[in-house]
Structure 1
């Protein structure tokens, strides 16, 4: 035991090791409901469930016996990719220490794989409060912004068809609808500004300039700031440019840079530093989990990735260690700019990034996707907010394609939740109702609020009853005609 945790270390000087299996035998049959986490983002698939012995629960899980909520997990910053399984006869912890898909070869080095922690439930707390307290226990040193984060992101109305002109309009809109005061809103430029999104299709993976629609990136950042917002920018740091040396490319996927290599980390460092020097105060980095593993979080399971590959630097470091070094590189290069990790490993993001996209994309075109990815994410990962990082359950896509009677409820929930609120503002969808509701929501989001608590989350994947700002509030996520076919 070390500092209230069971420390798990691995020494294996002569053999390659893929996984560690720790088993605690005991009677777990009192548990009625069990909740686990996700590898990176939630995909509308998080829920309290009954016994599923082969269910993979990354990082932590909690059990509810009808009265008490007990929690089991590993601390953030582990050097193994850890998941849990539970059955009536006991608990299993699996620590994946592979390097890519090959066993790690430590030589004389000892690997500090993970620190196991647990928390006994208390009679006077809700299941949500127990999980939130446990998240704080798992992450002793979160990196958090000094004030609430809110603003706009242009993805869910522009979908990459943006320009310097649309960005300036976007900034004007978010400033118009936001309160005055020192805490200014962000205006984030998402995918669409880089050369590969313009006429130079061979420019994919190049981040040293904008395309023909963004001829002056420092000038765009300055324009956003002059309008009264804080500039933010998106990047996919491991996308390989056409001129990348063959030796820099991941063996599993040649279109991806290999983050185990010092030269690749230097390129990532240079790219992130450049965005900061251009004047962007928030940097959203995306796709690194998919680029490394070749799978989305919901596809990873216990296998994580396909068999038969490792990193170019060799198999002497675990995948978790290599990803941790990548995150440290991005953090150092960003300086005082805020970081949003999108498609990042949640338990490895904590302590490095102020903000984490905790769910898959919502939508500016279909309400069902927003309900699935947004509402479910906020309910089942909101307990990580303020404990690991600021939770970003994703945007409200304000467009004519999504009924405002439903979308305004998502806006209201996020605004009152105490988490981050970003909106995507299609200019032709900003009627009187939308303007009124946006002003009210952004005023709430700009100030600190109590963390939202889902009240019926043990009965549904889309909680309707919430405790918000000290009061109970109800939402209707399904219209009078039902959910519709998937």
Structure 2
């Protein structure tokens, strides 16, 4: 069954015709489970698709989360569900059937689902931060909707549905396992402590494949650790190690020589490095959060990643990235999108800006 389609702006929510609906200079189209949208100045902030559905009284729902689980994921009754980001599963205990509703990975909007006893609703947030995106007539492929029904084990159904949403995953060629010094040093670290940790991990690991050892938070030049969170600092610049580490190339070489694969942690968008005003998303005194919509910020992140690679690190753990962009932790599930920042570049959606940053780190 085809959904009803609604466009949302600051004045409210209005239904538009299908398969191609218009409002002012905005146009939305939902064909073959692909949602596309364009606008110039219409000010549309979200698109809502609503399907008729019927769920048994005993149906349980399993929703995804925005950025990671906080030990709160699980099968829930209808009245316990809220906004379910990206996808959800509905399991009927009476019939033993599982239904999946979601979108293919890497959509160009921040997507969440809500359910009632007789409806399924998908909302696509197409803003640029907290403002309407200025697409200037560009046609945006918002998302590709995926829906499937399964019989049998709900875990197997979940696995199969996730494979449908991501049918070409970029998986590592070898297992990734090992150690991370945060869970023993908690930022109070040094070259000597990392060398000893590497020895300990290698001693209990097989020779092939080798384990990874992550040099976590605490190595960077301006790292400052205190009992008061507001006085501590875990950002950049990421140009060299502090006095407890010295040469970060030497650290990587030592990890390699001891039989492990060197990896490194960084928080790409947080720094005390002085940058131009137009590169800032927000700041607290001399602590700066960088705006990933600005090309100069992406160039800076690329330089950092290239430096880590030149030092000899083969895996990067980037941290706090979604928190620094959104300004909230993912556990604030229903309120996660309520207070987004204002990006300098409003021609891209928040999702596009995040994707471009992640692509820059991966490159």
The bucket for the TM-score relative to the shorter chain is 0.7 to 0.9
2:268 paired with 1:237: yes
Q: 2:342 aligns with which of 310, 313, 316?
A: 310
Partners of 1:16 and 1:106 within 8 A in 2: no
In structure 2, runs of 5+ residues without a counterpart are: 3-28, 226-231
TM-score, scaled to structure 2: 0.85
**Higher RCO, 1 vs 2 (CA within 8 Å, ≥6 residues apart):** 1
**Matches of 1:299 and 1:133, distance apart in 2:** 28
Question: Judging changes above 3 Å, is the alpha-carbon distance between structure 1 residues 5 and 139 closer, same or farther for their aligned structure 2 residues?
Answer: farther
Q: Secondary structure at the match of 1:269?
A: helix
Question: Judging changes above 3 Å, is the alpha-carbon distance between structure 1 residues 80 and 203 closer, same or farther for their aligned structure 2 residues?
Answer: closer
* Bigger helix share: 1
For 1:148, the equivalent position in structure 2 comes to 175
**Matches of 1:12 and 1:37, distance apart in 2:** 30
Q: 2:78 aligns with which of 39, 51, 72?
A: 51
For 1:88, the equivalent position in structure 2 comes to 117
**Matches of 1:108 and 1:331, distance apart in 2:** 30
Deviation sequence 1:217-249 (CA, Å, 0-9, x none): 111100110011111110000013331222110
**Matches of 2:328 and 2:348, distance apart in 1:** 21
**Matches of 2:271 and 2:32, distance apart in 1:** 40
For 2:189, the equivalent position in structure 1 comes to 162
Deviation sequence 1:242-291 (CA, Å, 0-9, x none): 31222110048772000000100000000011101100111100111110
Deviant stretches of 4+, over 3 Å: 201-204, 251-254
Question: Judging changes above 3 Å, is the alpha-carbon distance between structure 1 residues 302 and 19 closer, same or farther for their aligned structure 2 residues?
Answer: farther
Q: 1:196 aligns with which of 216, 222, 232?
A: 222
Deviation sequence 1:327-368 (CA, Å, 0-9, x none): 110111xxxxxxxxxxxxxxxxxxxxxxxxxxxxxxxxxxxx
State the Cα distance separating 1:213 from its structure 2 match: 0.8
RMSD, aligned α-carbons: 2.1
For 2:332, the equivalent position in structure 1 comes to 299
* Bigger strand share: 2
For 1:118, the equivalent position in structure 2 comes to 147
For 1:247, the equivalent position in structure 2 comes to 278
Question: Judging changes above 3 Å, is the alpha-carbon distance between structure 1 residues 21 and 53 closer, same or farther for their aligned structure 2 residues?
Answer: farther
**Matches of 1:236 and 1:252, distance apart in 2:** 15
State the Cα distance separating 1:300 from its structure 2 match: 4.4
Q: Secondary structure at the match of 2:271?
A: coil
**Matches of 2:59 and 2:178, distance apart in 1:** 40
Q: Secondary structure at the match of 1:21?
A: strand
Question: Judging changes above 3 Å, is the alpha-carbon distance between structure 1 residues 229 and 92 closer, same or farther for their aligned structure 2 residues?
Answer: same
Q: Secondary structure at the match of 2:134?
A: coil
In structure 1, runs of 5+ residues without a counterpart are: 333-486
**Matches of 2:147 and 2:216, distance apart in 1:** 39
Partners of 1:198 and 1:213 within 8 A in 2: no
**Matches of 2:32 and 2:70, distance apart in 1:** 30
Q: How does 1:33-432 map to 2 (within 5 A)?
A: 33-52=60-79, 55-66=82-93, 67-122=96-151, 125-181=152-208, 183-197=209-223, 204-251=235-282, 255-306=288-339, 309-313=341-345, 315-332=346-363
For 2:42, the equivalent position in structure 1 comes to 15
**Matches of 2:142 and 2:283, distance apart in 1:** 25
**Matches of 2:35 and 2:51, distance apart in 1:** 14
**Matches of 1:65 and 1:194, distance apart in 2:** 51
**Matches of 1:137 and 1:78, distance apart in 2:** 14
Question: Judging changes above 3 Å, is the alpha-carbon distance between structure 1 residues 163 and 90 closer, same or farther for their aligned structure 2 residues?
Answer: same
**Matches of 2:339 and 2:68, distance apart in 1:** 20
Question: Judging changes above 3 Å, is the alpha-carbon distance between structure 1 residues 115 and 252 closer, same or farther for their aligned structure 2 residues?
Answer: farther
Deviation sequence 1:417-463 (CA, Å, 0-9, x none): xxxxxxxxxxxxxxxxxxxxxxxxxxxxxxxxxxxxxxxxxxxxxxx
Partners of 2:252 and 2:311 within 8 A in 1: yes
**Matches of 1:21 and 1:302, distance apart in 2:** 18
Q: Secondary structure at the match of 1:23?
A: strand
The count of corresponding residues between Structure 1 and Structure 2 is: 325
**Matches of 2:133 and 2:80, distance apart in 1:** 27
Deviation sequence 1:197-217 (CA, Å, 0-9, x none): 269x89942101000011111
